[in-house]
Structure 1
Amino acid sequence: MKLKLAVILSLSTGLVACGGGGGSSDNTKPATQTKVIEGVAIDGYIKGATVFSDLNYNGKFDAGEPSSITDEEGNYRLALSGSNSDCIDYAPIVVNVPVGAIDADDPENPIQQAYQLVYPPAITVSSDEEIKFTTPLTTILWNEIQEDIHKTGLNSCKALKEAVNTQNKILQNVKDHENRIANRYNITVESLYGDFIKDENKDLYNLAQKMMPALKKSYEETKIIQQKNPDAQLAYVDYYWDFWDYRTNQPVDKWYRTEAIIKANKVVTIDHQVTDDLSNIIKLIRHVESNNSQHNGIGYTKEAWLSFDESLAEYTCSINETIEQLPEQSALTSYGVRNSSTSREGDWDNCSNNSVDSNFYQQLTTTTVDGMKEQRTLTQTSFNYNQRVQFGDLVNLSDKINSYSRSDLNILNFLSSSFDANTANGADDWWRAKYEYIQHSANDFTQIITEKYSSGVWAKTQYFSNGTNKRECSSDGQSWSVAACKN
């Protein structure tokens, strides 16, 4: 099968009047805003594929989600109206290609194995082109970033729109993923969103061909893992090919399988290296399990992380725990403690049963939000104590966390949450960040994150509503330039 799958989107906006019969103005209801997405699904041209706007981020076509069935030439039309009209930029677009769909390149042989392609929420990606191409590359990107989105509790376009404080993290994570995928496959970030068929880019076409068996296998195994975990907010399997080794800065040729299960209070991610035909496991690469809870005005998270160290040919186990105050209307600055330790372990069972060991380092943190309704982050600080642990009693709390309450962490209120402060509080090093959100119009905004480090380095990143960003650096917080970030 010649893979040429792309989804070409054009957006038009208008007002649709819902009125009575006979053109009588007496019965006309208020106009409702409607946005229309028109596009083409191409694998040849696909007839019989379902295209929908995934408003609740579950990867499934649910009642009420705008949808269209592609015609003989792969055309479709989605109309989003009312409260859903703003979801065009905030919800992923999914193309379900079912068994029996017709590829115009090979109409005598209907598609034998179903698969799914996705274009991430437009607000998150770097591309500001009105035409969106849904390809294996955009699907790979979505497979990577959706875990970040679900981890932060965003499971709808409405949640992504409202969680402005979380968008800062998501937007930066997407940029990181874009660069990682581009580096992995030795392509440009811009080409992730391009039409490699129209551009006659043989390298990207061949890459798409190479990825299709993995995408199809991922799709089939995702359905199985979702059936086994009906209570999960997100469960998926992702097979991917690794082209580049960042540590050795050398090309590689390896396949991996990622399995992720995200529940209300637990996140599990398991990565294995697999054989080139994707059928057999070679070795465990990483196993991460995070358990979290909230009570008595505090949040607690314990994470175990077992990863294979190629240079030592053995596994490293990291145990991280965080206890932090939850914001209150009368106390919008909250304090927290993070403890981390590392050891050598041979398997997951030994690692997961570990506690933070005696050779650990500690971070003390503050977070200030602007109100209980928005809870938009205003400032954050982190003080790192590598040698001199400040609160040795606030460690290994999983078995006694229920005995703690929010007030117990008020002992940290000596920490300054001000971005303008430069106090170290006895820390080996520190980091401070300031978050700003500027609303230009209903759908036009700029988010700015300004960071400074005890080393004297400053960084400022601006995220724009069209999905683009700009990062500048400084040595004094006054003179900024893009070039300074490369020094």
Structure 2
Amino acid sequence: MSVVTLLVACGGSDSGDDSGPEPTKTIQGKVIDGYLSGTKIYLDMNNNGKFDESEPSAVSLEAGDYKLDLTESEYQCLEVVPLQVEVPIGAIDEEFGEVTEPYIMTLAPMGASVNGDNEVHITPLTSTAWQGMSSSLSSAGDYSNLTCKEMLEHTEYLSDLKQAYDKALFEMGDVYNISAEQIFADYIANGDEEAHELAVHMVEGFKRTFSETAELLAKGYDVYNYQYIYTAGSDKYEWSREYDWILNYGMNHNTDAASKEYQGQVGFNYDFSESVVQWRRNVDVENISNGGDEGIFLKRGTYLRTTRDDSNNTILTCERLENIEDVWEGDLSKRDFTRYERTSVREDVLQEDDCTYDNYSHLPLVHEYIVRTRNLADTSMEFDEEKGLSSLQSIDIENFSAIQSEIESWNIEWEDPDAFDTEPEWMTKQKFEVYDDRTITYSRGLEGYRNKVTQFSDGTYIEECPDSNPTPPLMPEYGIEYCEQVK
């Protein structure tokens, strides 16, 4: 869970518990919107999104300068947990004056090593890169529940972390037309007006994210994703039409009466006075097994989407969905997980409140999504009405054992050939090999074998390409020399 605490002005320095090992490493840099003094910088060792007294911390001084002393083990954690900055009311921004609304900035795991230990800057740009990275991680699994120690003990997590990091930097560069060097630099000292202007806009989103997340947490919501993204001026967000901001959110709300999941995306204009729901997924969650945290989870709900016709008129469409799955285990080596989801044909609705789960049974199914993970292997696939739906469509959604048995009867394993009675729209199979110092990931799709990635415990990785595309279960040879481009 992402935890937001009330920020007030802080001063002095906080070096944590004096009884621990002597610091052996120091990182330093600047906290920047304009240069910010009076902020708290800390390494989020337990990855809970808030400062704990045992965590190494420092306070930024004039010109945003800070130094953070770390032990050797804490220094290793820079590769797997974020460096957070609490910007409290009363902090001083050398460009805009005293801070009147609190917010948080972040440097993503792996970001501290980009410029070396003496230029570890935390800015709105690094924070936006972290937003993209954390969004990928929240959809991929259990990252937010893992501490530094747990991640360093399981190298398979580092592969997901590295992929999310690379993806976030690529997408941010693609969207805003800035380089990785610009993202991690001191844009004020470099006279980079383009990056500076972009950063100033992004801070408005951080403030809204902070205040609105705090309100949701106070109401009992478990918020795992809540991010305002500045989209104005980016050709890549042309689909957002006249809107300058996009809010992506994901949260759960559990009460004695019901458990619900909420996800979605909302577009806003420049001053947030107008908005439109781009899409929204609301589901009720019921444990149909023995209750508690373990069991079989049945989810029923809706997808609401906003589209436009040829005359640019807004059209609201509604899909009904059913999903059944068991418990997701964070440890890949122990994971035994099945998910099946199906959705109905889209119907036009006049207003958002008209998109309800009622009257699902008479509507034709148009889409199915399956995930099966076990024995250090994972298969995901999707079926649609155009290419044909699977045999699962006729099974009662509450009959999880029958659904699981039917999936098991397919060529679902890594060693199986990729032939199915009904060919899916797409498919991805992955196989993992987990060692003390590295995790190796093999993957393939309907088109054949993809690259092999070896992720090491220090955060580095090697990507190798197949020399051929044999029919499974035969495997190709892999090597860097077979890749068109070495990464």
User: Is this a same-fold pair by TM over 0.5?
Assistant: yes
Q: Please, which of 412, 424, 428 is the counterpart of residue 423 of structure 2?
A: 428
CA shift in 2, pair 1:246/1:393, >3 Å: same
- The answer to whether the 8 Å contact 1:361/1:387 transfers is no
Q: How many Å separate the matches in 1 of 2:234 and 2:34?
A: 31
Offset at 1:426? Answer: 0.8
Q: How many Å separate the matches in 1 of 2:113 and 2:355?
A: 38
* 2:454 pairs with 1:451: no
* 2:267 pairs with 1:273: yes
Query: 1:67-91, CA deviations, whole angstroms, 9 ceiling, x for partnerless residues?
Result: 2222335343434559766533222
CA shift in 2, pair 1:263/1:174, >3 Å: farther
Q: How many Å separate the matches in 2 of 1:233 and 1:35?
A: 34
* 2:188 pairs with 1:194: no
CA shift in 2, pair 1:314/1:448, >3 Å: farther
Q: Which residue is equivalent to 1:220?
A: 211
Q: Which residue is equivalent to 2:340?
A: 337
Identity %: 21
* 2:383 pairs with 1:393: no
Q: TM-score with structure 1 length normalisation?
A: 0.73
Q: How many Å separate the matches in 2 of 1:70 and 1:173?
A: 29
The structure with the largest strand share of the pair is 1
Q: TM-score with structure 2 length normalisation?
A: 0.73
Q: How many Å separate the matches in 2 of 1:250 and 1:259?
A: 16
Indicate the SS of the match to 2:392: coil
Q: Counterparts in 2 of 1:38-437, with a 5 A limit?
A: 38-42=28-32, 45-80=35-70, 86-104=76-94, 109-122=97-110, 127=114, 129-130=116-117, 131-150=119-138, 152-153=141-142, 154-158=144-148, 159-161=150-152, 165=156, 167-229=158-220, 231-234=221-224, 236-246=226-236, 254-263=244-253, 266-278=260-272, 280-292=273-285, 295=289, 297-302=295-300, 304-310=302-308, 313-324=314-325, 336-346=339-349, 347-353=351-357, 355=360, 357-369=363-375, 377-380=376-379, 382=381, 384=383, 386-395=387-396, 397=397, 401=398, 404=399, 406=401, 409-429=404-424, 430-437=427-434
**Which deviates the most, 46-55 or 166-175?**
166-175
Offset at 1:161? Answer: 4.2
Query: 1:250-273, CA deviations, whole angstroms, 9 ceiling, x for partnerless residues?
Result: 998732334443457643233222
- The answer to whether the 8 Å contact 2:41/2:83 transfers is yes
Q: How many Å separate the matches in 1 of 2:285 and 2:155?
A: 22
Query: 1:451-474, CA deviations, whole angstroms, 9 ceiling, x for partnerless residues?
Result: 222233534344455555565554
Amino acid paired to 1:113: E
Query: 1:406-444, CA deviations, whole angstroms, 9 ceiling, x for partnerless residues?
Result: 57733433234432321413131443221233443xxxx
- The answer to whether the 8 Å contact 2:383/2:389 transfers is no
Indicate the SS of the match to 1:209: helix
- The answer to whether the 8 Å contact 2:130/2:168 transfers is no
Query: 1:6-57, CA deviations, whole angstroms, 9 ceiling, x for partnerless residues?
Result: xxxxxxxxxx996xxxxxxxxxxx9678654444324554332111222344
Amino acid paired to 2:419: A
Q: How many Å separate the matches in 2 of 1:235 and 1:250?
A: 20
Structure 2: gaps of 5 or more residues: 1-16, 470-475
- The answer to whether the 8 Å contact 2:339/2:371 transfers is yes
Q: How many Å separate the matches in 2 of 1:126 and 1:321?
A: 44
CA RMSD of aligned residues (A): 4.2
Offset at 1:144? Answer: 3.5
Offset at 1:287? Answer: 1.4
Number of aligned residue pairs: give it.
436
- The answer to whether the 8 Å contact 1:87/1:157 transfers is no
Structure 1: gaps of 5 or more residues: 1-15, 19-29, 370-376
- The answer to whether the 8 Å contact 1:128/1:468 transfers is no
Q: How many Å separate the matches in 1 of 2:199 and 2:161?
A: 26
Q: How many Å separate the matches in 1 of 2:443 and 2:383?
A: 16
Amino acid paired to 2:394: D
- The answer to whether the 8 Å contact 1:326/1:334 transfers is yes
- The answer to whether the 8 Å contact 1:267/1:290 transfers is yes
CA shift in 2, pair 1:121/1:358, >3 Å: same
